[in-house]
Amino acid sequence: MNLPNKITLTRIFMIPVFVLFFYLDVMNGWNYLVAAVIFVLAAATDALDGHIARSRGLVTNLGKFLDPIADKVLVSTAFIVLLTRSEVFSVPFALFSGAAMEGALYAMPVAAGICVALILARELIVSGFRMVAAERSLVIAADKLGKVKTTCQDASIALLLAGMGFLSSAAGRVIALIGIILFFVCTALTVISGVNYIVKNRQVFTEEKGPEEAKG
């Protein structure tokens, strides 16, 4: 197994460590900051393994398989565990007074759940789409909008995690609020990039065969 694939596996192994610290409540809120650091480091390995693989000619089929799985499992896990601490989506609105706060307490966790469902659905649909393309030996170019989406997702998760440990303070709520705003932005980007990805590569659904199918 080459270095890029080892880095990808490291990212996968970091996921349970991230979850462990997320739920390690004995650290008086600092566990969320540690979880944020672990998440950022894990997300950073995505760029690292890809750069090494391309620059050193170490791109392998195993890497092509593991890398997107590691990315999706990391982000999906982070969003799911954040939903189990739904107060991060509502408490920041204590910065405001009156009906805005009361409405947010009920509406924001529900809205967050819907957004996470949309994000997970998009990732599953695009993964299935890529599997169909691979079976037909069709090469699909990387999508820049998808990369922007991933960066936005990572940033929103990191900010939400960083703010969670200090929700009792104004600073923590501001950080979490910025994370919430980015969260809704990245949800929109996730849906738009998914639709754009499929529309741009709609030839996958045509009856024309790829080179390998034609040979068969």
- What tens digit of pLDDT does each residue of 80-123 get? 999 999 888 888 777 776 666 677 677 888 999 999 999 999 99
pLDDT of residue 149: 92
pLDDT of residue 101: 67
Whether residue 3 is contained in a domain is answered as yes
Whether residue 181 is contained in a domain is answered as yes
- Which residue, of 44, 71, 98, is where some domain finishes? 71
Rounded Cα distance between 191 and 126, Å, is 11
Q: Which residues contact 2 (CB under 8 A, 6 or more apart)?
A: 53, 58, 60, 63
Same domain, 93 and 190: yes
Whether residue 119 is contained in a domain is answered as yes
pLDDT of residue 216: 35
Task: Report how many domains make up the chain.
Answer: 2
pLDDT of residue 99: 64
Same domain, 132 and 154: yes
pLDDT of residue 137: 79
Same domain, 145 and 181: yes
The CA-based angle 177-22-147, given to 5 degrees, is 60
- Which residue, of 46, 71, 96, is where some domain finishes? 71
Same domain, 60 and 102: no
pTM: 0.88
pLDDT of residue 107: 84
Q: Is 36:60 a contact under the CB 8 Å cutoff?
A: no
SS3 content of the chain, % helix, strand, coil (to 5): 85, 0, 15
Same domain, 92 and 46: no
Q: Is 139:127 a contact under the CB 8 Å cutoff?
A: no
Rounded Cα distance between 19 and 16, Å, is 5
Rounded Cα distance between 85 and 25, Å, is 12
Same domain, 41 and 115: no
Residue 81 burial by Cβ neighbours in a 10 Å radius (0-12, 13-18, 19+): middle
Rounded Cα distance between 113 and 118, Å, is 9
Whether residue 77 is contained in a domain is answered as no
Same domain, 24 and 104: no
Same domain, 124 and 97: yes
Q: Is 67:49 a contact under the CB 8 Å cutoff?
A: yes
Same domain, 131 and 187: yes
Q: Which two tokens stand for residue 214?
A: 């034609």
Task: Tell which residue, 80, 104, 87, 79, has the closest CA to residue 176.
Answer: 87
pLDDT of residue 98: 65
pLDDT of residue 214: 38
Same domain, 111 and 180: yes
- Which residue, of 71, 104, 127, is where some domain finishes? 71
Write out the residue range of the structural domain in which residue 66 sits.
1-71
Same domain, 153 and 213: yes
pLDDT of residue 163: 92
Same domain, 17 and 54: yes
Q: Using 50 as the pLDDT threshold, list the residues of the chain that sit under it.
A: 210-216
pLDDT of residue 64: 80
